[in-house]
A and B are shown apart, each in its own frame.
Chain A
Amino acid sequence: MGGLVQKVKLFGEYIPWFQSMRDKGAIAFDELGLPTPKTEAWKYTKLRDLNTDDLVIEPSNFLAEMRVAAEEACGCHHEDGGCGCHHHHGEGCCCGHHHEEGECHCHEEGHVCECQQKLHVPFEAYVIHFEKGKMIPPFPDFPRGVEVMNLMEAVLTEDAKEYLGKVVDIKLHPFAALNNAYMEEGIYLCVHKNVKVDKPIVLINHTKSGEENIFFNIRNLVVLEQGAEAEFVEWYNYTGAVKSRYFANVVNEIVLGKNAKLSHYKLQDEAFKANHIALSVVKQKADSNYHNFCLQRGANIGRNEVKVLLNDENASAEVDAAYIMSGWATLDTTTDILHLSPRTYSSQLVKGVVGGEAKGVFQGKIHIAQDAVQTEGNQLHRALLLSDTAEIDVKPELEIFADDVKCSHGAASGELDENQLFYMQSRGIGREEAKQILIDAYLNEALDKVKNPEIRAWLSDYAHAPQE
């Protein structure tokens, strides 16, 4: 059996309030169905390449995760510890190579497992590891006032009950409905009142070669109480053969209390034949500030949708993004900023580089409600086309129901400038290198929006031109 809808054993079926959310998700998805070319919100991102028929959802891993977490917590030594990548001699080596029995080098002294090398976060951070959508314990030690749990743990303790499923409207988002139906994996992150987290919290989901045809759902709930501040990073990473196919469906529900401040960064670097669809919905109280920056560079179909509800006065949001792609990919950046109170502010800068026969999609909506006076919403999308066959589809939308607002949007696309290229070549810089320099400069304008210099440097390393 395969496909997006299938029977699978998940944890927590006996928790009525939680299970009913799953059931409602399944029903909503059944009613909505997959978006078609006629679905306005999916007008340009065609899902015919989603190829879900042979996808498999793996059964619950929650109890195993809890057991390992408990063992780690006891401080015992584990014989097979080493790299912590949870495979055993004789089983398929995680490095993706084929070995004769006993030839796996992962556990030899001094050997750093390939997957571990890739998972290195090059800045000080609290790192939470996921593999193909399943959490790999243990969690790092968080400081006081920062609560992080496996989502199911937060369901059991009912910490998640207040907000889970209440930020995102599954009737509007078919993939979020689907995410509801299989809700189990993900994290619950809560930063208590006035606590400022000292280091970024990084969620890495790592998928590697051989893990094909898997469909996984990740659901995160991020709550910042009044005056709290945090940086949250999502990193979707893949190593191994190019042909690997899987489907990651991610939903983040984010709640920002009064005067809270969240910087939310994301790197989408999935396999070129994988699909990645993500939705973040953010609810903001007065004086809170949300900054989102997403760099997309992988996947066959990649969509990052951010919906921000500026519910109270003086809430502000900055939603920026960059994408860089080639081949046949479709990368979609969709934003929906709702100004629902007076004096709310938003700005967006999205820049993309598209080569090959790839397609970049930007849909940006700014909605200003009737009483949301003296608000300001700005949006700019720019794209660079590297080939004649590359395509850009842009749909900016302004819905303004209030007077006395400042609003702007702009879109532009162009090609690399031959005069600039020749100028560099005439100084000895190779044509390909010159192109790379111009592309870097182009994307830097968006990357400069990332305020944390270490995270900016990390993302910059991935913002390079696609290989043609």
Chain B
Amino acid sequence: MTIPLLEIEDLYARVADKEIIKGFNLTINEGEVHAIMGPNGAGKSTLSNVICGKPGYEITSGSIRFKGKDLTKMSAEDRAREGIFLCMQYPVEIPGVAVTTFLKHSVNAVRKYNNLPELDTMEFVKMVREEGKKLGIDNEMIKRPVNVGFSGGEKKRLETLQMNILKPSFAILDEADSGLDVDALKVVAEGMNALRDGKRSMLIITHYQRLLEYVVPDFVHVYADGHIVKSGDKTLAAEIEKDGYAEYTRER
């Protein structure tokens, strides 16, 4: 039985006075991996920011439901606590805040919301070490301030560590126009694949097909001019790789 996890209906959204998302529809069921591909400037990152509730994005009409709940009324933090995780294209540097401090606040805020007891320092450190080890993150790295002076690969490793610790039911991977090297992408892809359990769902936002070789999607959508213009299976990604986006952008 398919259970819908994320349902977006006829969504219109704008940043400042510019309408960017125009009539967007998408339903993602439990266990599915969807990919959204589109040309630069199509508003792909706007989509992930709107789903995650970044301030400054205004929904003018339409709805977003997650596990049946109206997301648009929820704060960004509550969306995260409900199980949405945004693996960012450009993770933010936070000087003066150690990775461990940051992770502890994050894990316990999510646990508290879900009526789980907060982890004490011992339990927390043990968990971070175990999960970190799998990703090649050493103890020195988690003592450093969040993302400050991290290489591209290290930043992706930290994003993946957070995802693996928080174990979200829905992960968005925003790689809209990232020029990241293959090794860094592999780290994230492996992290995402590790979370694929037939129940968790994912949305991959990308410009290139490259990433989809590592995380193979169930569905591929072409996104242009604020909405989906074509949907298909993974073969659609290969088509785009061959023919480019010209066909879809010309359509308008």
Question: What is A's interface to B at a CB cutoff of 8 Å?
Answer: 417-420, 422-431, 433-434, 437-438, 440-442, 444-445
Contact = CB atoms under 8 A, between A and B. Distances in A.
Contacts of B249: none
Contact of B81 (A423, A428, A441): A428
B81 A437 contact: no
B92 interface: yes
B209 interface: no
A424 B75 CA distance: 12
Considering residues B77, B81, B92, B96, which has the most beta carbons from chain A within 10 angstroms of its beta carbon?
Answer: B77
B91 A423 contact: yes
A429 B78 CA distance: 9
B101 interface: yes
A426 B96 contact: no
Interface string B164-190: 001000000000000000000000000
B106 A431 contact: no
B55 interface: yes
A425 B80 contact: yes
A441 B75 contact: no
Contact of A428 (B55, B93, B97, B106): B106
Interface of B: 52-56, 75-77, 79-81, 85-86, 88, 91-97, 101-102, 105-106, 109-110, 113, 145, 162, 166
A423 B96 contact: no
A423 B159 CA distance: 11
Contacts of A431: 75-77
Contacts of B95: 441
B73 to A, nearest CB: 15
B68 to A, nearest CB: 20
B96 A422 contact: no
B113 A444 contact: no
A440 B94 CA distance: 12
Given A428-B109, A429-B102, 9 more contacts: A424-B102, A424-B106, A425-B80, A426-B52, A427-B106, A431-B77, A441-B95, A441-B145, A442-B96
A441 B96 contact: yes
B94 A427 contact: no
B38 to A, nearest CB: 22
Contacts of A428: 77, 80-81, 106, 109-110, 113, 166
Nearest to B79: A426
20 contacts: A417-B92, A419-B92, A424-B94, A425-B76, A426-B52, A426-B80, A426-B86, A427-B80, A427-B106, A427-B166, A428-B80, A428-B110, A428-B113, A428-B166, A429-B77, A430-B109, A433-B105, A433-B109, A437-B101, A441-B96
A416 to B, nearest CB: 11
A438 to B, nearest CB: 7
A425 B85 CA distance: 11
A441 B109 contact: no
Contacts of B76: 422, 425-426, 431
